[in-house]
Structure 1
Amino acid sequence: MDEELFAAFLEEWNAACARLAGGEEAARATLRGLAEAVGLPPVEDDMSAEALAALPRTLGAPATHGVLVVDDSPTMRRLIREIIAAEPALSLLGEAEDGEAALAAMAALRPALTFLDIEMPRLDGLGVLRRWALTGPGEVLVVSSAAQPGSEVALTALRLGAAGVVAKPSGAISLDMAERRGHALLAAARQVLGVADAD
């Protein structure tokens, strides 16, 4: 299969799976159309978002570690998506904009790694960690301006089970994050997942 076409398909597929996990049942129609277009098995009404997220593996896609991005800032989610796209070992499974949506997406998509902000509405990142620590899947890497390394918030996140903490640049949003922190974020993700550095 054409790698560029597959990447475009996979991005749209993962976005639809994340919408389905968030309760948007209409996303199932998008998944049905994509599955038919690329020759995947039919999408049935009783298939979970988790099962659907795993279907593209039947096309022989390279093994990747699925990632969930949790941040209330659309700009920050976009920047982290761009950073993830630069790492062949990672693939975006979905996004969440608050802690409650994060827990639902974690349960449905079962990511290998979740990038988690701390300061969010409805349920903050520490609240997510407290609930995730009981039954949550995968690893969590905190990416937050509120959790500078060595701070009380960072230490609490680590005590609650976070695999690591990467600080955002100064301020909640920095448009140069991809350059200034992208390397640190990917290095931390590789270490957490046991993935060798890309050459």
Structure 2
Amino acid sequence: MDEELLAAFREEFASLCAALADSRDMAGAQRQLAQLRAMADGMQMARLQARLRELEAATELDELRGAAEGLAAMASGGETEAEAQPIRTLIIDDSAMMRRMLRGILAADPRFAVIGEAADGAAGLAAQAELKPALTLLDLEMPVLDGMGFLAEWALAGHGAVVVVSSAAHPGSPAALEVLRRGAFAAVAKPSGALSPDIAERSGAEILATARRAVGG
């Protein structure tokens, strides 16, 4: 690919990503997303095209805004063979709102691809067996089968790494120590709507950083 053309593409794409991050409403974010998609299509950049197609299904403004930095990084870094392999991620939480929030957090890093969700531990085990994720984000307090029960089964025949994201397992707590004993990579606190925006942002950053370490990133 012509280096001068690629440099011009990256500059314009980064500008559109910045506009996406600053979008004030969903309609504006979707317009920016459409422009980004047109650029990626024009340059035939397969990974960007795939990621932008995923984002077209987003229903939350925060998810689109949160994805902007990752899109810019993906465009500026090129498309290496290693980057072409997404980190297949499963989210298990009985709260639909929390599942959306975790999707938004992971969207900040284009390496993560959420391939499935489950609302309880039993459904999570079935999804694990079918999807074979590299990473699972797991709640503890759920109906049907809770997180501890999930870990007991996962330890026998599960896939990938597990990071527990739960308000019941703060680092250093008995629950956190128990999930580590059962094989989870780490336990981090769950973001809460009651938190101030800056604390919530730090919580999301901690979840993302832990997810990266769990898969060796």
Compute the TM-score of the two structures, normalised by the length of structure 1: 0.67
Which residue pairs with 1:7 in the alignment? 51
- One-letter code of the match for 2:50? F
Give, in whole Å, the separation in 2 of the partners of 1:83 and 1:64: 16
Shift of 1:192: 1.2
Distance change in 2, residues 1:107/1:81 (3 Å): same
2:112 corresponds to 1:90: yes
Matched-pair contact (CA < 8 Å) for 2:51–2:110: no
Identity between Structure 1 and Structure 2 (%):
50
Per-residue CA shift, 1:30-70, capped at 9, x if unaligned? xxxxxxxxxxxxxxxxxxxxxxxxxxxxxx98211110011
Shift of 1:179: 1.3
> For this pair of structures, how many residues does the alignment match?
148
Distance change in 2, residues 1:161/1:123 (3 Å): same
2:186 corresponds to 1:164: yes
Q: Which segments of 5 or more consecutive residues in structure 1 lack a partner in the other structure?
A: 14-59
* Bigger Cα Rg: 2
Which residue pairs with 2:154 in the alignment? 132
Which residue pairs with 2:20 in the alignment? none
Q: What are the within-5 Å matches in structure 2 for residues 156-195 of structure 1?
A: 156-169=178-191, 176=197, 179-195=201-217
Give, in whole Å, the separation in 1 of the partners of 2:170 and 2:122: 23
Q: What are the within-5 Å matches in structure 2 for residues 33-48 of structure 1?
A: none
- One-letter code of the match for 1:107? A
Matched-pair contact (CA < 8 Å) for 1:82–1:178: no
- One-letter code of the match for 1:90? F
Give, in whole Å, the separation in 1 of the partners of 2:123 and 2:196: 25
Give, in whole Å, the separation in 1 of the partners of 2:196 and 2:127: 26
Compute the TM-score of the two structures, normalised by the length of structure 2: 0.62
Matched-pair contact (CA < 8 Å) for 1:98–1:120: yes
- One-letter code of the match for 1:186? L
Shift of 1:8: 4.0
Q: Which segments of 5 or more consecutive residues in structure 2 lack a partner in the other structure?
A: 1-43, 58-81
Match of 2:143, SS? Answer: coil
